[in-house]
Amino acid sequence: MKIRKRMTWVSILISAALLFLLIRLAEIQLFFTESFSKRNVNLIQESVKQRTEEVQISDGRGSFLDRNGEHLSVSQKPAIVLFPFLKKQPWPIEEASDILNMSEAELNEKLEKAKKPVILTKNEEKTFSKTALEKINQLKYPGIYGVYIEETEKNRLASHTIGMTNQDPDLLRSKYPHKDGLSISTKIGTFGMERTFDEFLLPEQDTKLLYHVDGLGNPLFGMDVKYTADANPFYPLQIKTTIDKQVQQSLEDVLNEHKLQKGGAVLLDIENSSVLAIASKPDLNMASQKTRQNYMMTPMYPGSVFKTVIAAAAIENGLDHPSKTFNCNLNLYGEPGEDKGKLNLADSFAESCNYTFTNLAGQLVEKNSSIIEDTAQKLGLTERVGWEGKLYHQDHFRQFYHEVTGSIWGDERDKKIKKAVAQTAIGQKNVKLTPLEIANMMATIARGGEKKQVKVADQIEYKNGTMMTTFKDQKLSGEMIDSFTAQKLQKLLRKVVTSDKGTGRRFSDLPFDVAGKSGTAQTGRQSKDKKTLYHKWFAGYFPADKPKYALAVVHMDTPDGKAATNAAFYDIVKKVYEIEKNQT
């Protein structure tokens, strides 16, 4: 009796297990073939992949162009594709050998070892010519093809701003729950403009050469190699940026040459407040989260560059009389510690006298407690300066990824503390601004006070080059400094370079006349050998008489005397001059 019961239970369990397996098999093969599991895996698609050998020519994702239409995010490499089944039958190896300038033995060797399609990109360190690809295709023999393979640039220019893509199925499904055609292997923008513009860059269909194989790797259906491509002339889309590829390369080369390891530079076109070049250091390493920080959009201590704001407030409130002098033998707290003598506002700005600006800040705050932040706002320093507006269904589309706004005060009570006001006046305490904001401030002054949002993308184009939408120039909201104040600031910034004792006198022999302001900010940190670390700045615009470019360079966490800031600023201006000269 007991044995019969046990047999009954065993039968029930086996039946239940078989039923479960049957249901599971039905789910896999009948009911959820295109959306299996929580990740909605397309099982049909994935099973076909297992039986397919393919060469991807393009993943179908949209790309980024510079302002002249040159590719920034991808490169097109000429290549010859040889499929493994060629080794099992006669093929025109003699003709291919002559065209490719490779021996028959070399071609046979590559095929003999191949289990997957062989991709040849060069011969004797030379890339294949367009003519070679055309001649190979004229053979019209299945299994050998000349193609241009599109590859994502691994060491792309402006990498922190353009960003990168990666496979992230969870992010993909959370962002696009209704796009059922997307494979879980589809790459998605994870940061930078790749992330902000991701919706416009998603692939419609990739382009590839493929053939189906049996279990032994032999081709099914004979030697039928298929070419799959999206025939749509409009997709994928392309984002035309405002970046100039040649200028960008030169700027990055300069930073590397001067070993600027942390910080970076941003160069703006003043007329329309657009990014010509932008680079953040250290270089991007996809394996490290730390290197993904874009310091050009990260608030940091600006040091004496912030004296530009105090000078603007002093001018607007009539505290800039040329006959009024300040005792620059005193330090920022009004105590003995400097030896610059008595200077008026213009000379104090040129020589970066701390006492003058802490004295002025004290007078200004006493008169109006919000005057410093109000003036900073007029110069575009307390709000996001990147382009923001309506783009199709998005009411607040932002071109820049994770742009952070600057700040002036950390605590309202600091306005009543003399030392806190003094530290704020020279860009310390709680003053933190981004290099992008500071470059835009210089552009604002150069334009006579007109505030504009900064663009890094000019338009979105269809694949055939026609325009889908454009990003119009937009003004920053709020009050502006008047043209009279801007003119006075322009003179102060120019004197920094022309004065014999000016902190920017090094730039006086450049082919472009430069106007700008230096800055040295204490970070509160020390190096391993106990040296005090600083943020070293120079920000300005050029040519001074007819401004076209605004530039901010910062070397972060550097010991005094070791900064590459001035050398980098100098060489970037020189490179821009040379490029402009060659273009005319």
Enzyme catalytic residues: 304
What is the rounded radius of gyration, in angstroms, for the C-alpha atoms of the chain?
Answer: 31
- Side-chain-facing half-sphere of 106: CA atoms under 13 Å: 10
Strand, coil or helix: 452: strand
- CA dist 117 and 143 (Å) reads 9
CA angle 393, 398, 404 (to 5 degrees): 145
CA atoms of 360 and 457, how far apart (whole Å): 40
DSSP 218: P
Distance of CA 554 to the CA centre of its chain: 17
Length of the chain equals 584
| Burial of 523 per CB tally in 10 Å (0-12, 13-18, 19+) | middle
Non-local CB neighbours of 463 within 8 Å, separated by 6+ positions: 232, 233, 234, 235, 236, 237, 238
Q: Which amino acid is at 564?
A: A
| Those residues with Cβ within 8 angstroms of residue 198's Cβ, 6 or more apart along the chain or in another chain | 175, 188, 189
For the beta carbon of residue 342, count every other beta carbon within 10 angstroms: 13
Q: Pull the structure tokens for residue 78.
A: 């000429």
On whether the CB atoms of residues 553 and 565 are closer than 8 A, the answer is: yes
DSSP string, 294-321: -GGGS-B--GGGGHHHHHHHHHHTT---
Report residue 472 as tokens: 């119009």
**DSSP code of 401?**
T
